[in-house]
Structure 1
Amino acid sequence: MGYKVAVVGATGNVGREMMNVLAEREFPADEVYAIASRRSLGTEVSFGDKTLKCHDIEQFDFSKADFCLMSAGSTVAKEWGPRIAATGCIVIDNSSYWRYDQDVPLIVPEVNADAVAGYTKKNIIANPNCSTAQLVVALKPLHDAATIKRVVVSTYQSVSGAGKEAMDELWQQTKGMYVPGAEVEAKKFTKQIAFNCIPHIDVFMEDGYTKEEWKMLAETKKILDPKIKLTATCVRVPVFVGHSEAVTIEFENPISAEEARAILREAPGIMVVDKREPGGYVTPVEAAGEFATYVSRIREDATVENGLQLWIVSDNLLKGAALNTVQIAETIISRGLLSKAA
C-alpha cells in the first residue's frame, strides 16, 4: 500500500520540482494532490506522465493525505502548517517559518536523520535554507573526521532562489541589455541583476549581516553542531539555477586535502569532481537538474592551522528544496515512523 502526498504551492518553482522529484525517485505514492491558492484552482501541473489539476487549499481535506510537502512561503506555513498537522498529515515545510522552533526538527537526511523522530511534537518538519543544505552535506563527513571549529563561506546564489519573478527579471534585463538605449528596470532586486552581482539577500539586520547570512549560521548550528562558528557573505549572481559556495574551514585536528577528498568521495549525496586542470571542477550550469552536491577545488589553507578550502555547487531547487523535502519523507517511511503521527 502506497502513501498519499499533498504538494502545497504546486504551481511555484519548488512545488513543480517536488512533483518531478516524487516521480523521478518513484516515491511510493498511491495518490498525489496538487494544492495551491484559490486563484490557481484548476491550473494543470505535471506529475510524471500525468497531468494534475490544482485543488484549492481552503477546500482540500488534508486528513486523507499522509504527507504535505509545503512550499508556499512563511505566511502560508504559519497559518496552514498547524492546521494541516492537526489532521494527522505530516507537514514538511520549505519556508523559513518553522526552522528555528525548538519543537520542529530541521533536517538534512545525510546529516541528521536521527532528529527526524522529533516531528511528533508538532507533526511538522522544517527544510533548511537552500544555501545551508548543500553546505552541511559537505561539512558533515569532514566534521566527523576532524571536528570543525570555524567556517567562512561566500555564496554565489542563483536568482531562482528568489522565485519565478526573479528569473523573469534576469531574463528581461539580459535581453534588454542588447537593445541600444534601453533602460534596465530593477523590481525584484535592489539593483540590476543582469551582468552584475548583488551582495544582499533578504533584509539587513542590526549587526550588518543580512537575514540570509544569519540563516546559514543558525541552521548550521542546529543541524550539525552548535559549537561551530560560521560567518557568511551571501551574494546574488546572474545565474538562473544553481548555488555555488567558496568555503574555508578551520579544524581542531589535522586533515589533508587528500584525506578530505577521500572522505567526501565516500559521503552520501556528494560527488567529488576535483581535477587540478582547466575545467576540472563543477559549475552551476553542470549541477542544474542533478541530485548530487558537487565538491571541487579541495585544497589546504596555509593561512590557518588545520585549514581546508572547498568549492561547493548544487541545484538549489533540488537539494536546497524539493529533493531534500522528498528525502525527509523517505526517511520517515524507511524508519517506520509514520505510524507515530499525531
Structure 2
Amino acid sequence: MKINKKAYINNFHAISSAGNSAEELFESICEKKDCISIDSTYVKDRNVAIGKIKNDKSFKELLLEGCKRVLDESSLSDYSNTLLIVGSSVGGMGVTESVYFQDKSYENIDYKEHTIDSIAYNLKKEFTFYDDVSFSTACTSSANALGYAKEVLSKGIYKNVLVVGADSLCSTTVCGFAALSVLSSKPCTPFDKNREGMNVSEAIAILLLQDEKTENSVELCGVGYSSDSHHMTQPHPDGLGAKNAIENALSDASITFEQVDYINAHGTGTIANDNSEANAVASLFTNKPYLGSTKSFTGHTLGAAGAIEAIISVMCLQKQIVVPCKDLETPNRDDISFTNEALSSNLNYVVSNSFAFGGNNTSLVFGKCNEN
C-alpha cells in the first residue's frame, strides 16, 4: 500500500535532566548548563555521573501530565483515530525494583507494571487511544517508534500518532553498564580525546505526529534502518551499520548528503561508539556539516534517546540554531565539524542517529516545511 501522506511533528514535550520542558531543554543546551549529577548510590563503592530528572513528582505522574499537555495543546477533540506508540528499554523495571527493595520479596510485584508495555498500559487507562504498540530495541526504541509512526501516517492508516519515549533510572541498567566498564565519573564528553565513557540517564519525550501540518510543523522526511550484527554490545569499527542507516534515511527522504546541515550524533562518549559513528559520518559527508552530541546535557536516556533527540532536532530547525557540544576541548577528529557555541544557521535538514546493541541502527531525517 503506497499513499505517501506526509508525517508532521506538530507538538511535543520533554522532561530530562536538562529541564522540565522542551524549552528548558533547548535553553540548557544553548547556554551550556551543567545538567548531569554525580551519584554514589547506584554502583557500590563508586561515583558515577547520571542524568536525573529534577522534579518532585513521580515518573508516572510526569508521564501522564506530559501526555495530557501535548494532547490538550493539539487540535484533537478525541483520540479515537490516534495510535499510541511507546519506545522504552526499561519499561516498568524501576517500579519492580522499588517494590522489591522495599519488601525484600517478589510477592507484591505487579507484572503489568513491569513489562515494556506497562507504559502504554498506564496511558491507555487515562486516554481513549484507538490502539497501542510498544517498541523495545534498546537504545533505538523510540527512534524506531518514530519510524513506525511515519509509516502508518504515510499509508493513511492513522491521522494522528502519539509517540512516547520513556525510560527511568534504575539499578539494573546503571549496574549493567557499569559491568561493561563504560560509565564515566564525570559528565560525558563525546568525541573528545579525554572522554571517560557514558552517563546513564532518564527522560520522557512525547511527540504528536499528524498527516496535516500546522503553523510551526517540522516534517519527519526520512527513516533508515540497518543491522550490522557485528558484536553484541559494540558497533562495527568502520561504522558500516551506521552508514547503511544514514544512507537509507536520506534515500527515504529523497535528499543528498550535501543537503544535510546538521547531524545530531548518537555520541554516547564511549570509544567504540564515537569512533564508529565518526568513521561513518566522515566517509559519507564530504561537505562536513556540523556534528554534535547532546548527551553531554541529557546523558544517555536509553530507549527515550531517539525521541528526545528528535525534539532537539525539531527545535534546531524551528529556531534555525546549531546547538553546541559541551566541554569538547580536544576533538579526536579533524575531518568532522564541531562547534562549542550555539550558532545561528540556515538549516533545512537535520539527521538524528540512534544506535543500539546488536548492531541495531536507526537514522531519522527532519526537514523544515515549505511556506506554501
Do the two structures share a fold, i.e. TM-score over 0.5? no
* Structure whose alpha-carbon radius of gyration is higher: 1
Give TM-score scaled by structure 2 length: 0.27
TM-score normalised by structure 1 residue count: 0.29
- Which structure has more relative contact order (CA 8 Å, sep 6+)? It is 2
